[in-house]
């Protein structure tokens, strides 16, 4: 697959029902291996999970405050995060061998893709220097996290990706210190007073997907790129 492979060459898979986390992890691993072997296409996999917590490679056990849901080792970069119904999870199986071996640029471009999709709903989302994730202001004017980013790169094929809060039960985040950041709340489109379906958010992602692919392999904004050790692991 060449660097100029079009967006249409990437498979899109949207799940209608929540996917158990172990099954998703196994599938991602298999897909990454197949892409590396040249036997499968790159893929964007959009889904929801049942309520659960995942632990990244930098997870601190003290930040698991109330393990009321199953906890899984994710293998991605980052710390603890929550996944559950009402949250759009996007797993990216992208071949960086063909799109520039630049992990920092990949994370930066991924953030930009999510920010652009949120803008379709009038959300002024942004990056925050020194903090992983996607941020905006809540209805009280406080800075709040609306999306999380965490990836892993194996043999230059990406695993994991992003999550965006559409209309999850935000109380479920109280069982952890989300991504190790306790000073800021989490929010969602619904909490911002925005009614949007998963299908509508997926459509916004699709609109901005070609720009995301076009941004891969470029130098990116290195000053604002997410710190590699916090966002990704490479094996």
| pTM as predicted | 0.89
What CATH number labels 7-221? 3.30.930.10
- Residue in the structure block whose two tokens are 């925005």: 194
| Residue 26 clears pLDDT 50, i.e. is over it | yes
Question: How many whole angstroms separate alpha carbon 27 and alpha carbon 49?
Answer: 14
Annotated active-site positions, please? 179
* Cα 118 from Cα 116, distance rounded (Å): 5
Which letter does DSSP use for residue 171 in this model? G
Task: Say how far apart CA 104 and CA 234 lie, in whole Å.
Answer: 12
Residues of the chain with pLDDT > 70, as a percent, come to 89
SS3 content of the chain, % helix, strand, coil (to 5): 30, 25, 40
Say how far apart CA 57 and CA 119 lie, in whole Å.
31
* Phi, then psi, of 142 in degrees rounded to 5: -90, 145
Q: What is the pLDDT of residues 32-65, one digit of tens each?
A: 999 999 999 999 999 999 999 999 888 888 999 9
Query: What confidence category does residue 218 fall into, taking pLDDT thresholds of 50, 70 and 90?
Result: low
């Amino acid at each position: 697959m060449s660097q100029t492979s079009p967006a249409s060459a990437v498979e899109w898979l949207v799940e209608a029902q929540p996917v158990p986390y172990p099954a998703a992890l196994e599938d991602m691993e298999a897909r990454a291996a197949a892409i590396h072997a040249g036997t499968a296409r790159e893929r964007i996999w959009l889904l929801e999970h049942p309520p659960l917590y995942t632990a990244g490679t930098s997870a601190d056990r003290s930040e698991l405050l109330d393990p009321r849901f199953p906890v899984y080792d994710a293998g991605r970069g980052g710390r603890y995060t929550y996944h559950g119904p009402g949250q759009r999870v996007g797993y990216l199986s992208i071949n960086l061998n063909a799109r520039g071996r630049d992990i920092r640029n990949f994370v930066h471009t991924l953030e930009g893709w999510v920010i652009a999709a949120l803008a379709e709903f009038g959300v002024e989302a942004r990056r925050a220097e020194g903090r992983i994730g996607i941020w905006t202001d809540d209805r009280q004017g406080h800075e709040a996290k609306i999306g999380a980013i965490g990836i892993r790169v194996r043999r230059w094929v990406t695993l994991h990706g992003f999550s965006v809060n559409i209309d999850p039960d935000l109380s479920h985040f109280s069982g952890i210190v989300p991504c190790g950041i306790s000073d800021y709340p989490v929010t969602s489109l619904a909490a911002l007073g925005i009614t949007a379906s998963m299908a509508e958010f997926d459509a916004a992602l699709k609109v901005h997907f070609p720009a995301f692919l076009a941004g891969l392999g470029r130098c990116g904004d290195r000053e604002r790129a997410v710190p590699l050790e916090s966002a990704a692991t490479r094996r």
